[in-house]
Chains A and B, each alone.
Chain A
Amino acid sequence: MEGSALDKLKAVLGAILVVVVAAYLLPPPPPELHRKNRIPVIFWHAFSGEWFPIYDGMIQRFNESQDKFEVIGVVVPGEELTTKFLLSASGGATPDIILNWDPVLGMWSDKGLISPLDDIMSPAEKQEFLRRTYPIVKRNSMYRGKIMALVDGLDMFAVYYRAEDLKDVGVDEKHLPATLEDLVALGRKLDKRDGQGHLRRIGFLPKGIINLAPTFGGKFNDNGHIVADTPGDLAAMSFIGDANHFYSFDAVDRFTQSLAADAGPNMPLIAGNFSIMFDGEWRVKQVAQYQPDLPYYLAPMPPPKGGKPNASMSAPNYLMIPTAAKEKQGAWEFAKFCVGFLHPEDGGRNMGEMGWLPDDPEIAKAKSYLAYLRKYPKYKVFVDLMASPNLEIEPQGPLQGFATDQINKAEDAVSRGESTPEAALQKVMQQLSDEKKRLRDLGEPAE
C-alpha cells in the first residue's frame, strides 16, 4: 500500500511538472487586440518617457483611421533594441515593423534582416517616393540601390547662439559670423574662467568629427564605400584637435564632465555652459519646453575657407520592415502614415508633434506642419537645410559600426594630442583595410 501511495504521489507530481514545463515552454498568447476583426501589426520602438504619449497617440490615430490593421506598439529600451531584434530574428519571430536609430541599415540589409521596401510598395508608390522625397532622405533610405527604410525623423545640425552672451560682446542676429574662422574668434571672446583659471564657460567647442566634416567638405560615405581620409575629413579633424590644444584637453575634459546634463532644464544651452553650440534640431523644442523665454539665434554652420555652406551630417531614425515580418502590408501602411508619405497632413502632425524634420516638401507645406513652424519659427532653419546639396550621410555597409567606432577613437586620440590628425585617420583606413581583409578571408561581405 505504501508503495502504491508513493507511486500515486509521483504520478501527481509528474503531471504537475509536465503542466508547469509546458506552460513555460509554450509560446505566449497573441497580444490582445483592441478592435475585433483587425490584423495585428507588431511595432517595436524605443520612445518611452515624455515621448511615449506622443508616439502612442500617433499609433492610436493610425488605428482609428483603419478598418483592416491594428498596430500594437511595444516599447523596447533604446540600448537593447538592436540586440533584442537580432535575437528575435535568429528565432524567426521578429516584429512586423521596427524603428531604430542605431547605424544599422547597411549591416541589416547585407545580412538580409530587413525587406527592401521596393518589393512591398507598388510601382506607383515607388515612383512617387523617388519623385517627392528630399534627396538627403532618399540617400538615408536607400542602400545598394534599394529602398530599405523610411526615415521617421532626421537629425540635422546647425549653430545655436545664446543672444545674451553675444550681446555682451556687441554681436546681434544681423551680425552673426559669416565664416567658421569668425565663429571661432567670437567663441574665444566669450570664454570665461574663474579666479583660478578654470574654464567656467566655453564660447565654442567643436566636437564630433562625423557631424562636423561636411562643413569642411568631408564625408565618410563615398558612393557606398566607407572613407575617412578625405581632405575635408582631415581638415575637420585638425580643427577639433586645434580647439582641444588651445584650451588643453584636460581643461576641456574637466569642464565637460562637470556639466549637469545633456538634456532637460539643465542642458548646456539653457545653463549657459557654452555660448555657441553646434547641435541638433531637437534642441528647438527642448528649449521651448524647459525655458521658453531663452533668447537665442539659430543659423547654419558658417563654412571655413574652402568649406561648404549649409552643410550638415544627417542621422536618421530608420523605420524598417523585417524579412521575417508576418504582416508586411500592414507594416507598410503604418510606415507611410508615420512619415506622412502620401499622407502629408498626417505626416505634418506626426513630425510636428515629435519635433522632427519632414521627409518631403509636401509635408513641409502641409497645414499641420506650418502650424508647428508657426509655433517654433526657429525650426525653419533646419527645414530650409533639408534641400541643401551639401548634406552627408553616415558611413554605411557591413563595417559601418566598426568604422564609426574607429573614427570616434581617432578623434579622441587627436583631441588628447596623442596622434596627429593625419596619422589618426590613416590608422582608421588601415584598420578598415585589415578588417575587410579578415572578412574576405572568412568569405564574408566586406563592402
Chain B
Amino acid sequence: MHITTEALHRTSPVRRWLRQNATGLLFISPWLLGFLAFTVGPFFSSVYLSFNTYDLVHAPKWVGPKNYTTLLQKDPLFWSSMGVTVKYAVVSVPLGILVGVGLALLLNTKVRGQAVFRTIFFMPSIVPTVANAVVFMWILNPEIGLINGLLGMLNITGPSWLTDPHWALWSLVFMSLWGVGNSMVIYLAGLQDIPAHLYEAATVDGANAFQRMSRITLPLLTPVIFFNLIMGIIGSFQYFTEAYVMTKGGPDGSTSFYALYLFQRAWTYLDMGYACAMAWIVFVIVMVLTVIVFRSRRRWVHFGG
C-alpha cells in the first residue's frame, strides 16, 4: 500500500488525484453523497421533468416544450406572479441595501454601547421566518395592530396593511427590512476593512464628511454592496415563506409571488412537470440578471488596490 513517487507518476492523472486526495474525499464523503443525491440529482432530473407531465405517482410522460410554451403564451397567472415578484425585487433589493448601509454607517460610529446597538439591530435577522411572519401579522393588524395603534394616536386611520391589495405587497417590502441585520453585519465588516489612513489623508486635504463618504467610504464598500445585490436578487426571486404564511397570495393576487404559484402548481395541483418548467425559467432569469450585474461591476465596483 506504500505509494512511491515513481508509482504515482505511472498512473493516470485522475487516479493520481484520487489517491492523493483520498483521505480528504473520505472525510467529506457524507456531505458529498448527500449533495449528489439531494441537490445535483434533483437539479438535473428537474430539467428532464420540465419536458414531461409528472404527478409524483405515475411515470413522467414526455410532452416536449409544451410546459414552457403554455407558461409563456397561455398562463396569465405566470405573468402576474412574475410581475409581483419583479415589483418586489425592484423595490426591496435597493431599499435593503440602502437601509443596510445606512445602519452599518450609524453603527460604525464610536458611541457608548456600540456593541449593544449592533446586537439589537442584528437580533431580528436570527428570528425564524415563520415566527417573524406571525408577529408581523399582529403588528400589521388594521384594528389591534401596533402600527395602526401608533397612527391612531396621531389621528390617522392606518390602512388594512395585509388585506388591501394596494398595501399588501408594500407591507411585505417593509417587513423585509426587519431582516436587514444580516447584510448590515457584512457592511460593518466592509467598513472596518477601509484603511483609516485614507480618511486621515482626506481630512488633511480638507475633505468634508460628505466628500469622505462619497469618495472613500462608498467606493470601497462597493464589493460588499455587489455581493449583497447578487444575494438580494436571488433571494427576492425565491421569496415564499412570508407570503405563504401571511397572505397566501392575496388579496386579489397582489402578493401572488412566483415561488408561491410554483409551489401551488407542484403540491396543490400535482403539476410537477409544469412546476419544474417554472423553476427553470426563474433560474434562467436569475442567471441572466446575475451575469448582467457581474458584467457591470467593472464600472462601479472598486476592489481597492
Q: Do A and B bind each other?
A: yes
Query: In the complex the two chains form, is B141's CB within 8 Å of A258's CB?
Result: yes
**Chain A residues, CB < 8 A from B30:** 17, 20-21
- Say yes or no: is A290 at the interface (Cβ < 8 Å to chain B): no
> Contacts of A438 on B, CB cut-off 8 Å?
70, 74-75
Which candidate, B182-190, B217-225, B245-253, is the interface stretch facing chain A? B245-253
Tell me the bound Cα distance from A257 to B163 in angstroms: 9
**Chain A residues within an 8 Å CB radius of B63:** 442-443
A402 within 8 A of B: yes
Stretch binding the partner chain, chosen from B53-61, B116-124, B207-215: B53-61
- Known contacts A7-B1, A83-B267, A416-B251; A14 and B26 CB within 8 A of each other: yes
The distance in angstroms between the C-alpha atoms of A250 and B141, with both chains bound, is 13
Q: For the complex, would chain A's binding face be called helix, strand, loop or mixed by DSSP majority?
A: helix
Please indicate the chain B residues that have their CB under 8 angstroms from the CB of A86 in the complex. Answer: 56-57, 267, 270
Give A362 to B247 CA distance when docked, in angstroms.
44
Provided the pairs A21-B33, A257-B163, A258-B141 are in contact, do residues A89 and B66 lie with their beta carbons within 8 angstroms? no
| A255, CB-defined interface residue at 8 Å | yes
Distance of A108 Cα from B66 Cα, bound (Å): 24
Mask: chain B, 91-117; 1 = CB below 8 Å from A; 0 = not = 000000000000000000000000000
Within 8 A of B (CB), among A99-118: 107, 111-113
Q: Mark B137-177, 1 if CB is under 8 A from A, else 0.
A: 00001111000000000000000100111000000000000
B250 A111 Cβ-Cβ under 8 A? no
Q: Does any Cβ of A come within 8 Å of B12's Cβ?
A: no
Q: Is the interface of B mostly helix, strand, loop or mixed?
A: loop
Given contacts A3-B1, A21-B33, A443-B61, whether A107 and B270 have CB atoms under 8 Å apart is yes
Contact residue among A82, A112, A254, A409 (Cβ-Cβ distance under 8 Å from B142)? A254
Q: Does B192 contact A (CB under 8 A)?
A: no
Residues of B within 8 A of A434 (CB): 74
Choose one: B160, B252, B269; the contact of A401 (CB below 8 Å): B269
Q: A3-B1, A86-B267, A438-B70 are in contact. Are A258 and B253 (CB under 8 A)?
A: no
- Select one of B26, B57, B268 contacting A112, CB under 8 A: B57
> Contacting A444 at CB < 8 Å: which of B26, B27, B53?
B53
Interface size on B, residues (CB 8 A): 39
Q: Which residues from chain B contact A113 at a C-beta distance below 8 Å?
A: 57
- Chain A residue numbers with a CB within 8 Å of B70 are 438, 441-442
Residues of B18-35 at the interface with A, using a CB-CB cut-off of 8 Å, are 22-23, 26-27, 29-30, 33
A3 nearest in chain B by CB position:
B2
Measured between alpha carbons, how far is A418 from B250 in the docked complex, in Å?
A: 14
Residues A441 and B29 in contact, CB atoms below 8 Å apart: no
Q: Tell me the complex Cα distance, A86–B190, Å.
A: 47
Given contacts A416-B252, A442-B63, A443-B63, contact A253 B160 (CB under 8 A): yes
Contacts of B164 in A (CB 8 A): 250, 253
Contact surface of B with A, Cβ cutoff 8 Å: 1-3, 22-23, 26-27, 29-30, 33, 53, 55-58, 61, 63, 66-67, 70, 74-75, 141-144, 160, 163-165, 250-253, 264, 267-270
A–B pairs, 11, beta carbons within 8 Å: A4-B2, A21-B33, A86-B57, A86-B270, A90-B57, A111-B270, A253-B142, A254-B143, A402-B269, A412-B250, A441-B66
Give A residues with C-beta under 8 Å from B. Answer: 3-4, 7, 10, 13-14, 17, 20-21, 82-83, 86-87, 89-90, 107, 111-113, 250, 253-255, 257-258, 401-402, 405, 409, 412-413, 416, 418, 434, 438, 441-444
